């Protein structure tokens, strides 16, 4: 599904934010990326999506080299990759449903986007996605009137409406209370098993990674220092990621 080879990125020719990162992600799995603040987790996700141009290395997604493919191919591949961010990244004044449909705007003619005239089939898909994340009752509420947990579930419903096959989640639970955090991670996990999605999720908390992921990657100062199936994670592995 995703292969990352020797991925390296520096900002402004300074120190390397990530260096020589290699890993393979199998479809329908939940991979947690653990690492202290500043380790390079966000940089890695942004390089995968080509929002940041890596200095060198390769990113293969569904058999396509995202570093060298055409702009049109990159657009097609990005349409299959959804992002879920700590800060929710919803359009605040739009409804939950409209936010979900936002994942498909590029398919629609401009006049439909401008007037908010969405085809019925797309509206049904958006509603089905909201039902899947148990938010049908707030479909017509403005995003900024929703709780943090609800916002994050709308972001996940948007990924479903987008028909993404890969979700890149960057600390999606960092601003949620513990109970809501469990609900959001549980939902992401169930999407891998039930909807055939693949999730890569940056996390701070070892215990949550242990509970919800199939595999754990650890980044320390820009380097991949850990790549284990979750059930094999040991205390010394954790220490390697969080050593000062």
Ligand X SMILES: Nc1ncnc2c1ncn2[C@@H]1O[C@H](COP(=O)(O)OP(=O)(O)O)[C@@H](O)[C@H]1O
* Residue ranges in contact with Mg ion by CB under 5 A: 41-42
Is 34 or 166 the residue whose CB approaches ligand X more closely?
A: 34
Neighbouring residues of 207: CB distance < 8 A, sequence distance ≥ 6: none
Task: Report residue 210 as tokens.
Answer: 């242990």
Query: Residue 196 touches which of Mg ion, ligand X, none (CB < 5 to 8 A by kind)?
Result: none
Nearest to 139 by CA among 198, 81, 97: 97
Cβ at position 202, least distance to Mg ion in Å: 6
Q: Are strands 2-10 and 16-25 parallel, antiparallel or unpaired?
A: antiparallel
| 169-198 binders of ligand X (CB under 6 A) | none
Secondary element (H or E) of residue 203: strand 198-203
Cβ at position 35, least distance to ligand X in Å: 5
Is 17 or 127 the residue whose CB approaches ligand X more closely?
A: 17
Is 18 or 183 the residue whose CB approaches ligand X more closely?
A: 18
Question: 3: how many CB neighbours lie within 10 A of its CB?
Answer: 14
Is 41 or 132 the residue whose CB approaches Mg ion more closely?
A: 41
| 19-58 binders of ligand X (CB under 6 A) | 35, 37-43
Is 41 or 189 the residue whose CB approaches ligand X more closely?
A: 41
Is 98 or 237 the residue whose CB approaches ligand X more closely?
A: 237
Cα–Cα dist 142/80, whole Å: 26
Total residues in contact with ligand X, by rule CB under 6 A: 10
**150: contact with ligand X by CB under 6 A:** no
| 217-236 binders of ligand X (CB under 6 A) | none
Helix (H, G, I), strand (E, B) or coil at 201: strand
Conformational region of residue 90, where left means phi above 0, alpha means psi within -120 to 50, and beta covers everything else: beta
Kindly give the residue spans of alpha helices, DSSP state H, lying in 57-177: 71-79, 96-101, 110-115, 120-132, 148-161
Cβ at position 40, least distance to Mg ion in Å: 8
Report the number of secondary-structure helices (H) and strands (E) in the chain: 9, 10
Task: Report residue 183 as tokens.
Answer: 């609900």
Cβ at position 42, least distance to ligand X in Å: 3
Task: Report residue 124 as tokens.
Answer: 């049904």
Query: Residue 2 touches which of ligand X, Mg ion, none (CB < 5 to 8 A by kind)?
Result: none
Query: Residue 40 touches which of ligand X, Mg ion, none (CB < 5 to 8 A by kind)?
Result: ligand X
Chain positions contacting ligand X, by CB under 6 A: 11, 17, 35, 37-43
């Amino acid at each position: 599904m995703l292969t990352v080879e020797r991925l390296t990125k520096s900002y402004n020719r300074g120190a390397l934010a990530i260096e020589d990162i290699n890993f393979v992600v199998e479809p329908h799995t939940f991979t947690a990326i653990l690492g202290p603040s500043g380790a390079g987790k966000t940089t890695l996700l942004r390089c995968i999506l080509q929002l940041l141009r890596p200095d060198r290395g390769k990113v293969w997604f569904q058999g396509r080299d995202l570093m060298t493919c055409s702009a049109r191919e990159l657009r097609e591949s990005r349409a299959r990759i959804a992002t879920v961010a700590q800060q929710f990244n919803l359009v605040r004044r739009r409804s939950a449903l409209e936010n979900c449909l936002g994942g498909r705007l590029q398919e629609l003619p401009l006049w439909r986007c401008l007037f908010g005239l969405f085809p019925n089939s797309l509206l049904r898909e958006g509603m089905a996605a909201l039902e899947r994340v148990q938010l049908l009752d707030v479909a017509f509420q403005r995003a900024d009137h929703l709780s943090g947990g609800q916002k994050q579930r709308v972001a996940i419903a948007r990924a479903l409406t987008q028909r993404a096959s890969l979700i890149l989640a960057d600390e999606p639970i960092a601003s949620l209370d513990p109970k809501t955090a469990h609900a959001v991670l549980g939902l992401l996990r169930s999407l891998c098993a039930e909807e055939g999605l693949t999730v890569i999720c940056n996390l701070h908390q070892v215990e949550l990674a242990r509970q919800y992921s199939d595999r754990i990657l650890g980044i320390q100062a820009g380097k991949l220092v850990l790549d284990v199936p979750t059930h094999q994670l040991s205390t010394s592995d954790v220490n390697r990621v969080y050593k000062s």
